[in-house]
Chain A
Amino acid sequence: MFLNANLFEPGKSKSERSFIQSAVKQNTRFDGRKSNEFRDVKLTFGSDWGTVAVSMGDTKVLAQVSCDIGTPSSARANEGTLYLNVDIKGVAFLDEIQSTHDQRFLTLNSLLERTFRSSRCLDLESLCIAVEQHVWCVRVDINVLNHDGNLYDASTIAALAALMHFRRPEVSYAEGEIHTFSERERELMPLLFLHYPVSVTYCVYKSSSHPLVDPTLLEENAADSIIVLSFNSYQELCTLNAGGTAPTNVRTIMQCARSAANRSKAVVQFIRKALELDAERRLQPNRVAGLVDLLNDTAPMLSFKHLMEQEMQMEVVQQSSCEEPIQPKETVAHEQLHKVTEIAETPMDESSWLPSEQNLQQEQLVEDVPQSLKESTPITATTSKSKPNRGKNKASKKQQLTQRKQDQSDSEEEVTLIL
């Protein structure tokens, strides 16, 4: 779409919706991508530390990290704070658009909150200067410059890349005095991470069993439901957000989760490579080009397709194997639900919870659809912890199960959602 897509808000009329539905049925996408194909991600680092512009197709997001010294909360006296703020600019129009804008703002904020804060991706204790007195407050400001769908992925990638790029000055604390070293005295310090989460978005349509990955705004608005999964580079699930009206079964979600886990790993790898290239560039004598160059298209963009060519090929092979009909037996999925809850805190490898290929093929190809739906209901119910319409999902039969799930999830701090 065009700059400031808000006025154009596509996908809201009936003809657009039905067109997209039938296009999805025929497996065609508007920009000629396949259903499991991503748009190219491009990163541009600014001349300041912690400034990153991300573009995915026409979706453009700018993230800026800053920090200052503040006081900690009394509950967590030895931890610094991380504050995330999303700003969707350029909306001063009609009522209808205003409401979608507010919705977008809220979901995006809560997604980022859960992906980065609740999953504790930063080592906040390392940001402590003096217990109960002084801590670093890290703030991430995300500006949406243009919206053409999939703001979720763009803003998580932007936030993660900006946090990884950011350097803070070193301080010393003695006798109640803080001394901040300048860049000349001591080198700036990067933030410490516990893990690196990135989200992947899928759109599910009633007319097709194949979810679309990385939707454009048109596809996103016309979708029956949107699934956002955040995975870290160890392929652990950090957030799952599944809303909407399309019936999604365990199989679809697991299928999405599997390719999302691979994708997240690749994206984090890509960000690392991009950071290395940026570091090399900074060592060169001539001044680092900032974001100004974005205006004349001469900026050194670091493109996912370009950097990750080899990995992409591997990924394609993996993804195509995912496309094969997989029929996990009910018990497998169920067992895995528990397994994950038990060992959620330790880093786990893929095989422990993602149904492995051989395993699944050995299983009998029997799947009871209503049963699988019943299985998936508690999942969606637990995910929507913060959603007001949680009550709707709780049919009286499922209530007990849901309740139990939630008790468990409350006891887990490390992982927001338990699969």
Chain B
Amino acid sequence: MSANTSIIMPGERVTLVEDAAKNKRVILGPGLRRLDDKVVASKAGPLRHKEPNTFWVDNYQRRYVPARGDLIIGIVKARAGDLYRVDIGSADMASISYLAFEAATKKNRPDLNPGDLLYARVLNANADIEPELVCVNSNGKSGKLGVLQDGFFFKCSLNLGRLLLRESCPALAALTEELPYEIAVGVNGRIWVKAHSMRETVGLANAIMALEQAGYSEIEKICGNLNGVVQA
């Protein structure tokens, strides 16, 4: 990832990407689109680049747009026949079949109630039909997916969720040095945390929310102070 990033605005021609495209294939991520032989931004934000050839715009967004394969946290809203309706922060409610849980059969239904939190994967995402979720992988095992018990849950911007999920993100590592905890980060901008005690959980959540306004470059600095936030 390049350190010096430039902010681009929607409609702006991105010559940096065009230059790169001259001698190799490039992949245009979210916020960039190709118009004939030009590359134009469709969102505002810093331009990101990942070696060797991926470019995208990291715009500030809070509305989640479902995409296949995303890991998300949803709130169960209602039960409708064979389905549960789940709020995942997108324009439409998502649905999950009661058979999409580990070891669930027609007789052995999962016990879900409105208000429960689900850590699930998006199976189907299409603009025209409502998103569908699953809590099992292709082998029928739940892995880490399923209902999240206890703990504390909060919503944040999509950027913060993505930021925490980056492989090189120092924030979670810095927190691990302070205290043991469990965390589930949904790319739909929802985070669930659980630590041993109430105070620790509160501190942890506050520490993560403190990252909300930080840029990539400031994270290192903030992580140094995180233990102060956790203790407070």
Contact = CB atoms under 8 A, between A and B. Distances in A.
B152 to A, nearest CB: 5
A19 interface: yes
A23 B198 contact: yes
A10 B149 CA distance: 17
A16 interface: yes
Contacts of B153: 13, 15-16, 19
Contacts of A14: 113-117
Interface in B102-122: 113-117
B202 A8 contact: no
A18 B114 CA distance: 14
Interface in A14-40: 14-19, 22-23, 26, 28, 30, 32
A3 to B, nearest CB: 10
B123 interface: no
Interface residues of B, number: 30
B150 interface: yes
Contacts, number: 59
Contacts of A193: none
B96 to A, nearest CB: 16
A263 B199 CA distance: 29
B63 A13 contact: no
A301 to B, nearest CB: 20
A277 B205 CA distance: 39
Contacts of B201: 19
B163 to A, nearest CB: 15
Given A7-B62, A8-B62, A32-B232, A15 B117 contact: yes
A281 interface: no
A12 interface: yes
A2 interface: yes
B117 A13 contact: yes
23 contacts: A2-B157, A2-B212, A7-B89, A7-B155, A8-B62, A8-B155, A10-B155, A12-B75, A13-B75, A13-B115, A13-B117, A13-B153, A15-B115, A15-B148, A15-B149, A15-B151, A15-B153, A15-B192, A19-B153, A19-B201, A22-B198, A30-B202, A96-B87
Task: Name the 10 nearest CB pairs between A and B, nearest first.
Answer: A14-B115, A8-B155, A13-B75, A19-B152, A15-B153, A13-B115, A7-B62, A15-B117, A26-B198, A16-B153
